[in-house]
Structure 1
Amino acid sequence: MLRRLILAGSAGLVLLLAPLVAADTLVFTAIPDEDETRLQQRFQAVADYLADELEVDVRFIPVTSYAASVTAFRNNQVQLAWFGGFTGVQARELVPGSRAIAQGVEDPEYKSYFIANHQTGLEPHTGDTAPEGLRDLTFSFGSQSSTSGRLLPEYFLREHLGASPDELFARVGFSGNHSRTISVVQSGAYQAGVVSYKAWENELEAGNIDLERVQVIWQSPPYPDYQWTVRGDIDERFGDGFSERLQQALLDMDAPELLASFPRSGFIPASNDDYQEILDVARQLELID
């Protein structure tokens, strides 16, 4: 299943291999969790920061799908990636020795927002379990490989409402990213959906959400999510101790304009063990062998 998910996304790579990236260039990517047109702008400044801190050339290369980010990491087209919880687990399973080295301050207690079009008549729900009113609606997830837009929301739906999405909903869709999920629910193309709470706050601040048409109806329980993951062979390429220097550079990133790219209030250390819950859920849902 994992191999099928990765191969399915390989055609979506936007890794332009001509001209080839020099061997002494650190290349990183990030999952396209929001509108892809913003990615280059969001992360070019991060590339410049890392280049100054590490004294090596650093290049950011965007991808067009979550699966493509994992493929790029597996194929050593990128050595560093800003992954979601699930994509990070996928990548580390495929590349032995790779490890999570930093996460946002907010990431150990991440959450998803379930949203609904106002025409459904659903009201905000404060209970500990997903609202029964979601049954029989049309429903949009984000990417199939999204932690906050698919993996954990599906797990909570199964646990709380006792059925798979195909059994719960009149129609199930995958928008591709959080921005598009908000758009299709706001337009009424889907009656309800689920998104990263950070993406919702970002789009709300940007003025892209009409609260007269769409609203948050339930907040999920917390779970671990995004992280920086690095390949285990990076020190062989850049020299002994490079991975520790890279981790420290990420932890030291404190300029507001850089943190706004994620958006996070700062970064803290991370390890593979922090994401065991994600791996367990992915195996339970048979998304990883």
Structure 2
Amino acid sequence: MSLKMRCAVLLALLSSPTVMAQTFTFTAIPDEDETQLRTRFEKVAQYLEQQLGIEVKYIPVKSYSAAVTAFRNNQVQLAWFGGLSGVQARRLVPDSQAIAQGYEDQFFKSYFIAHSSTEIVPSDNFPNINGYTFTFGAKNSTSGRLMPQFFIERNLGKNTKEVFKRIGYSGDHSRTIAQVQAGVYQVGAVNYKVWESALANGKVDLNKVNVIWESPAYPDYQWTIRGDVNANFGKGFSEKVTQALLGMTDTDLLSSFPRQSFVPADNSDYEPIEDVAKAIGLID
């Protein structure tokens, strides 16, 4: 075989899909400590790799907006989004779909927490938090910003800027708990799952911080996949990913979220989140 022919064969082999195997990538909003996220999602990557039969890689990001940008730019094809970030991502990427959510995400909640020095008593009624310092989580967090802002403004009848002495954005739920517990802010809003995990792990001092109000339920986290994955990874690939997520039964893996299981999701499930985001001016 001539050198020219050998080069042609080599090029053909290198361009073959069996040789040039694609890597399926995913990310997640950074709602907790980065070390915990990496441990959790590298396990998910291993699980998906086994189920899908191709290389799967978890790509960490530094912010909620970075997760949306990575999804928009096709740096990742799948993402574990919150309600709001999922809405934002699907608006930017045509035909993308919410495919699975945690069982608990069908009726998610926010907790309002307060430092003991406020002497705010826990109640089923919305608390009088006028004049305190307050921290949300990340600016694009559903449970740490969007829904808490909605509940504050609906119950108190005025803009959050008129309610509080000072407003902060901690960046994630773990930091919200730490900041309120330390008295950096007097009151804050937090994802109830992160609070319960922190409490179970001994990271909450109930003598310093406690839950003062529990919100009504709303839809939140979900797995969203790009609409072009079947074209790029093969016919039926989106359904294979969906079934892999819905079939996740390993209790250790599920507890790291923490969720009891994953159930089907649809874009229409998050219309209430989109409506609230429009109502308070976070999206057009």
Tell whether the structures are fold-level matches, with TM greater than 0.5: yes
Runs of 4+ in 1 over 6 A off after TM superposition: none
Q: Deviations over 1:2-31 (max 9, x none)?
A: xxxxxxxxxxxxxxxxxxxx8711100000
Question: Is contact 1:43-1:261 (8 Å) kept?
Answer: no
Alignment partners' CA distance in 2, 1:86 and 1:170: 26
The residue aligned with 2:229 is: 234
Question: Is contact 1:124-1:216 (8 Å) kept?
Answer: yes
Q: CA deviation at 1:262?
A: 1.0
Secondary structure at the aligned position of 2:101 is classed as strand
Alignment partners' CA distance in 2, 1:67 and 1:164: 24
Question: Is contact 1:153-1:194 (8 Å) kept?
Answer: yes
The residue aligned with 2:11 is: none
Alignment partners' CA distance in 1, 2:127 and 2:187: 12
Secondary structure at the aligned position of 1:116 is classed as strand
Alignment partners' CA distance in 2, 1:188 and 1:96: 44
CA-based RMSD: 0.9
TM-score for both structures, normalised by structure 2: 0.92
Q: Does 1:156 align with 2:148?
A: no
Alignment partners' CA distance in 1, 2:184 and 2:275: 33
Question: Is contact 1:120-1:191 (8 Å) kept?
Answer: yes
The residue aligned with 2:70 is: 72
Q: Which amino acid aligns with 2:238?
A: S
Of 151, 157, 163 in structure 2, the residue corresponding to residue 168 of structure 1 is 163
Query: What are the residue-to-residue correspondences of 1:129-278 with 2, within 5 Å?
Result: 130-132=126-128, 134-278=129-273
Q: Deviations over 1:194-232 (max 9, x none)?
A: 000001011111111101100000000100000000000
Structure 1, unmatched stretches of 5+, are: 1-21
Secondary structure at the aligned position of 2:203 is classed as coil
Secondary structure at the aligned position of 1:215 is classed as strand
Secondary structure at the aligned position of 1:106 is classed as helix
Question: Is contact 2:120-2:127 (8 Å) kept?
Answer: no
Alignment partners' CA distance in 2, 1:275 and 1:55: 31
Q: Which amino acid aligns with 1:78?
A: V
Alignment partners' CA distance in 1, 2:111 and 2:252: 25
Question: Is contact 2:21-2:54 (8 Å) kept?
Answer: no
Secondary structure at the aligned position of 1:33 is classed as coil
Alignment partners' CA distance in 2, 1:260 and 1:28: 20
Alignment partners' CA distance in 2, 1:63 and 1:206: 25
Instruction: Report the number of matched residues.
Output: 265
Question: Is contact 2:95-2:226 (8 Å) kept?
Answer: yes
Question: Is contact 1:137-1:191 (8 Å) kept?
Answer: yes
Q: Deviations over 1:40-76 (max 9, x none)?
A: 1111111000000010100001111111000000000
Secondary structure at the aligned position of 2:49 is classed as helix
Q: CA deviation at 1:257?
A: 1.0
Alignment partners' CA distance in 1, 2:140 and 2:70: 15
Alignment partners' CA distance in 1, 2:187 and 2:35: 25
Of 97, 100, 109 in structure 1, the residue corresponding to residue 98 of structure 2 is 100
Alignment partners' CA distance in 1, 2:117 and 2:66: 36
